[in-house]
Amino acid sequence: MKRSLLLLLCLFLYQAYGQDAARNWTVQASAEANPADPSITLKWLPNATVAEIYYIWKKEKGTVGWGTSVGSVPTGGDLEWTDTDVELGGSYEYMIQLRTGGSVYAWTYINAGVEVQLNPNKGDILLLIDETHADALSDEIDTLEMDLYNDGWMVTRHLVDPAMTPADLKDEIKGYYNELPNLTSLYLLGNIPVPYSGDLYPDLSFFHRGAWPADVYYGDMFGEWTDTEVNTTSATDPRNHNIPGDGKFDPSTVVSTINLQVSRVDFSNLSAFVDPEVELLRNYLNKVHEFKTTAYIPVERGLIDQSALSFHSEGFAQNGFRNFTAFFGPDSIAELDYWTTLNGNDYLWSYGCGDGTYSLANGLNGGSALTTNHIADGSSESTFTMLYGSQFGDWDTPNNLLRASIASGRTLSCSWAGRPNFHYHHMAMGENIGYSARASQDIYSDYISLTLGGGAYVTIEGVHVAQLGDPSLRMYYVASPTEVEAVNNDVNADISWTASTDEEIDGYNIYRRPENGLWIRVNPELVSETTYSDTTVPGPGDYRYMVKAAKLKTNGSGTFYNESLGAEGTTSFVAGINEVTNFHWDVFPNPSNGMFTIQSDRLMTQVEVYAPDGKLIYTEQSNNYIEKLDLLGVEPGVYFIRVKTDNTWLNKRLVIQ
């Protein structure tokens, strides 16, 4: 489906949209959720481009392929469409295209839902830490790891020598990928070796042609990255030279599925800042912790500054209009000067574009250039930002504008969004930014990342597409409960906690997991009190309980239950629950493709399978010693198998690949 859309888009690569190009490439859509009679209504602004009809596609979030369109709306009618085929808690993705015949003029994506629940199991995250700063930042890294864990990540630390080669580090990452059952994300903290790849110049500066930084290399576990073909030395900076056998790779575009989310926090060679590198890292980790624990809550609005590039036919700021409308709706987006506004005024998101160099973007500072020195001397209050302009997308340069952006003020993430596009729409429904970055990088994703450059250059999923900042970041957080205590009370676990300081929460969710197991929500409905008795303890063992405050969040994409970081308590069950001794059972093959067998030496009476997000996806009464299950087609991940025999539940993990 994606390739056919790209071919259609190519018909209009030479179309000059003029001053409103950014809007004209975009269907500015938002969604309203109706829980009473579950439905989702998509609404969008009129587009000035002359075209005939809007088509709508739909798929469940996380599935592959758009299939056939599910609806259409003529340009002359009311620009809205209601989907009644939805369920409470369901998360859906929509694509809207403005077309004439088979030709695409504008498009957008939106991830919408009605009272969607967050996934308590985010997966394994590999924290790659520059070993030269590990000791000095030990307290901040401990806090980072705890925040990640309390948000549903299973954290593994690995110290990295900055002098090692990217190829050697990639081998170590592959070792973890094979070892950890659900590794989904890489967090590069510090001066982690930078892979270079390609013979490209997505900024259209010929003197900048060659190998660019390519962190996506670390996220590709199976693609072939050769170093035998490209031979180019025309770039002014020797960093971009690429010759066979030099340790820089050949591909200019992503060669395979990107398996892992990859994001980097790297403040090396930022001499414009007074603070040394280690202090910039410390400041960054502290402000991330403050954001995640609601020490400050930015205003939910978006700022866009196109400067002189507002006349460019590519409409780079489509990245702002498309994403921000899905976040906030069209009324909370303002076109204002980037730096004079953000230097002291908080916006949850911002976008700025201007031609530039490695360390400046023209037109983003009251009509003048925004430089790294301005950022170092000021304080940007935009939590998430996107920037686009010549040269500084090559972020591994001294005093680079992108890396400087997340070292300043309260800015936590930055990307070079314009060639190609970034697709952050999932974040409106509570996803982390690494999820959206991977979707924007993956060559097989369902999201169009095609742009034109100077009317002739096309880049699709280039190896330069990078995300800077903490990959686990979500857009919204809630104040956490504290002082969780879990007590063994015969066959139940009694959990108590101190309430969240957020007075507007709707209640609490309580999650349980065995050692080395997945989190499962044990409360069928939100708990309004600060105590809960878990009557579903499955059997003897050590259990961890986590309590999270939850608040129904309404935004430009519908509604979902936003959650705080969790607070944890533990308890053990040995006596009081019938313990089966000399019991042997197994699940095989494990890993599996979805077809597997459960075999035990005692009669099984119930079999249950839980998805990675803790939802029960299969249950069946049994009266057998062997059960064969067929779950072909489910998403890859770590699943939780529960088997009841006699009066005891026992648990195993199953990896589906």
- pLDDT, tens digit, 9 for 90 and up, residues 432-467: 999 999 999 998 888 877 554 433 334 457 899 999
* Structure tokens that stand for 365 in this block: 């500072």
Residue 371 within any structural domain of the chain: no
Q: What tens digit of pLDDT does each residue of 509-529 get?
A: 999 998 878 999 999 999 999
| pLDDT at residue 556 tops 70 | yes
Residue 362 within any structural domain of the chain: no
Percent of the chain with pLDDT over 70: 93
Mean pLDDT on 191-199: 98
Mean pLDDT on 10-35: 76
pLDDT at site 19: 66
pLDDT at site 17: 53
Contact 111, 426 (CB under 8 A): yes
* 607 shares its domain with 522: no
SS3 559: strand
When mean pLDDT is compared across 76-85, 137-146, 489-498, 568-577, the lowest value belongs to 568-577
How far is residue 607's CA from residue 621's CA, in Å, rounded to a whole number?
6
Q: What tens digit of pLDDT does each residue of 214-256 get?
A: 999 999 999 999 999 999 999 999 999 999 999 999 999 999 9
In the chain, the number of structural domains is 3
* 521 shares its domain with 617: no
Cis peptide preceding 420, ω within 30 of 0 = yes
Contact 474, 426 (CB under 8 A): no
Q: What tens digit of pLDDT does each residue of 396-436 get?
A: 999 999 999 999 999 999 999 999 999 999 999 999 999 99
Residue 214 within any structural domain of the chain: no
Q: In which band, very low, low, confident or very high, does the pLDDT at 313 lie, cut at 50, 70 and 90?
A: confident
Which of 549, 573, 597 is where one domain is finished?
Answer: 573
When mean pLDDT is compared across 110-124, 525-539, 553-567, 613-627, the lowest value belongs to 613-627
* 41 shares its domain with 105: yes
* 8 shares its domain with 104: yes
| pLDDT at residue 480 tops 60 | yes
DSSP 168-198: HHHHHHHHHHHHSTTEEEEEEESS----EEE
How far is residue 339's CA from residue 485's CA, in Å, rounded to a whole number?
47
Residue 31 within any structural domain of the chain: yes
Contact 306, 361 (CB under 8 A): no
When mean pLDDT is compared across 201-210, 304-313, 351-360, 619-628, the lowest value belongs to 619-628
Residue 264 within any structural domain of the chain: no
Which of 116, 137, 155 is where one domain is finished?
Answer: 116
* 513 shares its domain with 601: no
How far is residue 352's CA from residue 384's CA, in Å, rounded to a whole number?
12
112 or 540: which carries more pLDDT confidence?
A: 112
- Residue ranges of E strands in 566-594: 567-573, 585-588
How far is residue 556's CA from residue 537's CA, in Å, rounded to a whole number?
39
| pLDDT at residue 65 tops 80 | yes
How far is residue 424's CA from residue 141's CA, in Å, rounded to a whole number?
27
| pLDDT at residue 12 tops 90 | no
Residue 290 within any structural domain of the chain: no
CATH code of the domain covering residue 527: 2.60.40.10
Percent of the chain with pLDDT over 90: 74
* 569 shares its domain with 589: no
Q: Tell me the residue range of the domain where 7 lies.
A: 1-116
Query: Which CA distances in Å does 34 have to 43, 110, 381, 469, 481?
Result: 14, 16, 34, 35, 29
* Structure tokens that stand for 605 in this block: 């009476």
CATH code of the domain covering residue 608: 2.60.40.1930
How far is residue 580's CA from residue 647's CA, in Å, rounded to a whole number?
9
What pTM does this model have?
0.89
